[in-house]
Structure 1
Amino acid sequence: MDAYSITGQTVFPEGVRPARIGIDPGSGVVVSVEDSRNSVPADKLIFPGFVDAHVHAREYPEPTEPGSVEWEKWQSACKKEIFTSAGNAAINGGVTAIGAMPNDPSPPDNPEGYEAKLRISESSPCPVVLFACVTRNSEPWGDIPYKVYLDSTPSTVAFDSWSDLEETLERYRGRRLFFHAEDPEILQKNAGKGPRWKTRPPEAESNAVRRILDLTTKFGLKTHICHVSTQEAVTTIQEYNRNASTRVTSEASPHHLFFHVNNGKVSAPGWREIPNVNLLESNPPLRSETDRAFLMEALKTGQVDILATDHAPHTIQDKLAGAPGMPHLDTVGQFVCWLLKKQGFTPQRVAEALSVVPSELFAPNLAIAQGHIKPGFAASFTILDLHAKVSVDRVGIQGRGLFRTRCGWSPFTGYRFPGTVMKTIVRGQGYTFYEDSL
């Protein structure tokens, strides 16, 4: 394929301006960026490609004994998502690279298991940064992101004891660690006492964040806190960062920014029709309107560093049975349009939260640098149409067709977004969902 260019209102750190971007699809990089004097639509924005740092792609190496219990678990997981479908859903939502989480029945906690899963991840049409899992007996082995899970009960992936975690982290000094921050002791104390917003209270998160920050200092960790959901957790991280030599980063997820709960009743700004609340269960759970509004402002001002979906492709049947989490990849671009048009985010802040900072977190693991629109960086772009208004229905997005995620639903069913993804370009390869293109 020959070199080509795109022209439009382009988002740079210093502002938005018309630009002509030269692309070499062979190498997948930007070869030139020039100011454009051509008239371009003001409501079509070119962003450096979005990077979703928190995705559950479900697929992992197939167990060797077909028909066994472990094989049945693998087959069930792959019915919900595989790397091919996760990559397609990402591109559908304007995402050009994903970070794949390791909470599999057989977690990638050693070089052999990690390499086996890495080979499978190559089936994704967009780049995948693969997380390794920290487990009780695991050892670090490379400059890769590691995920730490905390929960009320022990499992192959989760710690239910702070002493066990501290003993393990002694071996992970100086490593990049991403934490699911909920205090197992508080979760154990509240087990069986009601819905998630009661059994996983705000103090479970804030307590866990404090203890993780203590461990960060003790072991010199490069720490990232996943899916923060409370004002107290964000404030605690802010206070720590004032005197820290290395910044602790954090992320917010769409459901914690959009929905809130009040005595079990779920609401969302400007939206009357809320789907079955069982579909909105997550870990950590939805929080109060006070927490939601604070989290929104914290993400807008950069106190929370990035937006990451925590895409969790469960089937409707699994959700009704209590599975936590919800799918978001297909609707990332639409959600960003809502942030831009309804929540007062600037294009520069969106680029920072979804492109610049996630790319920096994954920099050692991206074959081609991304996060900026300049020569030598990946020719990966998210192009949004802020004029179109699209509704999400039970099986897809108006004008876009079916969801690409295998689980086939969205928590935003029934909502009308004030914009959509016009085109996604991944390392020079364009994916268009409208007849007109740049």
Structure 2
Amino acid sequence: MDRIAASALKRLVRDNLALQLQESSDSSRVEAAIRSIVSETIRSWGMVVSIEDENLMCQCIVDDFLRYGPLQVLLDDPSITEIMVNGGGIDFEGASLSFRDPKVFVERAGRIEECAYVRFDDAEHVRRIINKIAEQAGVRCDESHAMGCAMLPGGRARATFIIPPLAPDGPALNLRLFSEHIMSMDDLIEKGALSTVMAKFLGAAVRARCPIVISGGTGSGKTTLLGALSGFIPAHERVITIEDTPELRLRAHHVERMQTREANAEGQGAVGMRELVALSLRRRPDRIIVGECRGAEAYEMLQAMQTDHPGSMTTIHANDPSNALSRLRTMVNYAHSDLGRDVVQQQIAESLQGGLVVHVDRMADGSRRVTSITAIDPMPEGSAVIPRAELFRFDVGGTDAFGRVSGSWRPCGVQPQTIKQKMIREGVQYDPTWFFST
């Protein structure tokens, strides 16, 4: 069956199905109706179609109605970590302007590749899938709300979408897929994300209630590392998580989750990250975990770390540990622009002293690694610079013939005295050899 005939058949089935079922939620009834309409249409058109092609067409239409259309086969593939549907651009050749067919890309093992065997009928087909995802999540998707973020049911993936007029090449969709398995620190060691010594030190730092900021770029593994670190939180401690979309998959025992909310159609009812951080302080948390600090909520997060919620954690987009601290300073200024640079620096230093900035990077071969662990020391009176000392570093050795990045971790020979005191005070084992051998 050629593509034009297949598209016409799918449109006809959609129209007939809408009339017959009137939005029925009974999946078995929908599937039976689709197969009946397809068979009847093929016979009435006098088409010669094999049983295999007819079954394939039925399955494609079933996926459109009940699942996520052409993307369903990708969502069912455990080797895929991200799906990217790009607008195909504007087609100027016809009598009127229209969009070219979208293109589909996937990420496997950290590498992006085009997925030519998965195709959408047209830009409107992508729009229907985006509308389905938005409706399931209860978020708006129209010209006045032309971009958004939503979770698929069950938390299996996070979707971000953008449509015209904000997307001049046509509707586009990204899906970040989450594994059903919550990664542990042992899993990360096995994958080569960090060394055993570094994992032991980080686990001890979490148990000793050291504040931790995980920095890195998009897709570098910040959230995965945060989830693995949560496995070291003692079972008796109460943890509150705050996110825009519920991505965190924690291994902690006692967890309460909070999620921000966008404004409704009347522009009311919005609840931001900053309000939830303030509310969480009154809900008896031992630790607060902010999925990602990227605005004024950084001020409340630092306040929580500084007061009676030590051991709180967050992630932040940054190029390196120094950039992470400067970005924190910028975000605090979002909340209090009247504060001077020295006051903000002092605030950050007091909140993070005895804590860590753990930086993760996505390598050229797609692998994710912890490339730096930096300790934050108390800020001397009169100083304008936040004292910090790098404890571990990943040295890149090069790339082999298969494109794999080689390298090794090495301790920097510096002991974090403030963290050492915290570990001793909390009864957590401290081993000075961590910082002199790998």
| TM-score with structure 2 setting the length | 0.29
Point out which structure has higher relative CO (alpha carbons under 8 A, 6+ apart).
Answer: 1
TM-score (norm 1): 0.29
